[in-house]
Amino acid sequence: MADATQDAVPDDALPAGARMIESGGAGCIKAAAVLLGVGEEAAGTIFKMFGETELRRVALGAKDLRSAPAGKISESLEKFCEAMETVGGDAAAGDDLLREVATKALGPDLARRAFDGVIPPPPPDEVLGSVSQADPEALAMVLGREQPQTIALVLSSLDASRAAGVMDRLAEKIRPDVLRRMATIESVAPEVLREVGQALSTELKSLVSGGMRRVDGKSTALEILRRINPQQQGVVIAEIEKDDQNLAGELRGRLFTFNDLANLADRDLQQLLREIDASRLTVALKGATADVRQKFLQNLSSRAAEMLSDDLAAMGPVKLSSVETAQQEIAKLAQELASQGRITIVGPSEKML
């Protein structure tokens, strides 16, 4: 601790003093006396440097200080005892005052446990077991099969960086519900957390031993769809759309994009141009590659190509979302024409004879 024979405790000495709480009873009493002597604000700063073990020692010292004869207080703490008198605190009131300061600095739960002698809860690592150190990818795969309240309970008990890594790998549609439930969790019984941890640990072991791995089924499905003709593609996606419009829209958008229109034969592209609204085409071409833009221009009449070029040059900034929407509309129109047999869609790897 700082030398108590000096008139004041230098600010830079406080952290060192905070680290020098002895394990014996006399050391605890001295620490409590010092904290009382430096005043509420300085004591609060020091409390923030404590772990629960140190705080418990101060709490014990504060209790002993209530009944300690004045003569047993070390001579080196005399000036701190004088400071206690100036702030209206004495040895008998040390317990209450330090409890109040600790509560402000560390929160009511930790202070209550320390000053009331309540056994601290086991750390999450001990309760959750291997789950607390699990790979975020593996844990996300296991938690993805659980209810949102279970996911929220587990993530709330992990360190923030690991919990965020798991959250990033969960399905987007369940994230808001999980976060909402996490925000309302204030405490949980160790027995409940231990039971959940044991169950998840078993699943994690099965996942690792069984060689389970994450697969990209969506990409595989797209590759299969690309190998069938446009009419069959339309039928399949239409069936999917009955149950999941979002998934159908995503598959349709990834199956055939606006840039793929550059692979159309000139005759097919000219057929498509007859069906496209001119204003939507201008917006779509605003964000197109030079090759795609040239492909469209060369399949228009000279006058129409000149007008389109002028419109593009005169067009101001356009929102990316507006460009993407226009491109998706035109790509979808091309798929519809292909499903009707009016044009032939050619993939980038296919060749026409």
Across the chain, mean pLDDT equals: 74
In a domain, 136, yes or no: yes
Quick one: 92 and 130 in the same domain?
no
Quick one: 94 and 184 in the same domain?
no
Quick one: 156 and 101 in the same domain?
no
pLDDT at 208 over 60: no
In a domain, 75, yes or no: yes
Question: How confident is the model over 308-337, as pLDDT tens digits?
Answer: 999 888 888 889 889 988 988 898 888 888
In a domain, 350, yes or no: no
In a domain, 246, yes or no: no
Quick one: 157 and 192 in the same domain?
yes
Instruction: Give which of 172, 109, 159 is closest to 133, Cα–Cα.
Output: 159
In a domain, 98, yes or no: yes
Rounded to an integer, what distance in angstroms lies between the CA atom of residue 269 and that of residue 295? 9
Quick one: 111 and 128 in the same domain?
no
Question: How confident is the model over 268-296, as pLDDT tens digits?
Answer: 999 999 999 888 999 999 888 888 899 99
Better pLDDT: 206 or 224: 224
Beta strands in 149-308 (DSSP E): none
Quick one: 110 and 128 in the same domain?
no
Question: How confident is the model over 18-47, as pLDDT tens digits?
Answer: 434 444 456 677 777 777 766 788 778 888
Is the distance from CB of 143 to CB of 150 less than 8 angstroms? yes
In a domain, 3, yes or no: no
Quick one: 17 and 51 in the same domain?
yes
Dig out the tokens for 119 from the structure: 């056994």
Q: Of the residues 151, 177, 209, which one is the last residue of a structural domain?
A: 209
Q: Which residues contact 293 (CB under 8 A, 6 or more apart)?
A: 285, 312
Residues written for the chain: 353
Rounded to an integer, what distance in angstroms lies between the CA atom of residue 33 and that of residue 27? 10
Instruction: Give which of 309, 307, 299 is closest to 343, Cα–Cα.
Output: 299
Rounded to an integer, what distance in angstroms lies between the CA atom of residue 294 and that of residue 290? 6
Quick one: 70 and 154 in the same domain?
no
Quick one: 112 and 143 in the same domain?
no
In a domain, 42, yes or no: yes
Q: What is the DSSP letter of 299?
A: T
Q: Mean pLDDT throughout 226-230?
A: 74
Quick one: 82 and 146 in the same domain?
no
What integer pLDDT is reported at residue 297 of this predicted model? Answer: 92
Q: Mean pLDDT throughout 71-87?
A: 53
What integer pLDDT is reported at residue 296 of this predicted model? Answer: 92
Q: For residue 74, what pLDDT band results from cuts at 50, 70 and 90?
A: low
What integer pLDDT is reported at residue 283 of this predicted model? Answer: 92
CATH number of the domain encompassing residue 279 = 1.10.220.30
Better pLDDT: 69 or 256: 256
Q: Of the residues 116, 138, 155, which one is the last residue of a structural domain?
A: 116
Q: Print the domain residue range for 282.
A: 256-339
Q: 108: burial class by Cβ within 10 Å (0-12, 13-18, 19+)? A: exposed
**Count of the separate structural domains present in the chain:** 3
Better pLDDT: 292 or 7: 292
Q: Mean pLDDT throughout 55-82?
A: 64
What integer pLDDT is reported at residue 281 of this predicted model? Answer: 92
What integer pLDDT is reported at residue 1 of this predicted model? Answer: 40
In a domain, 216, yes or no: no
Quick one: 24 and 108 in the same domain?
yes
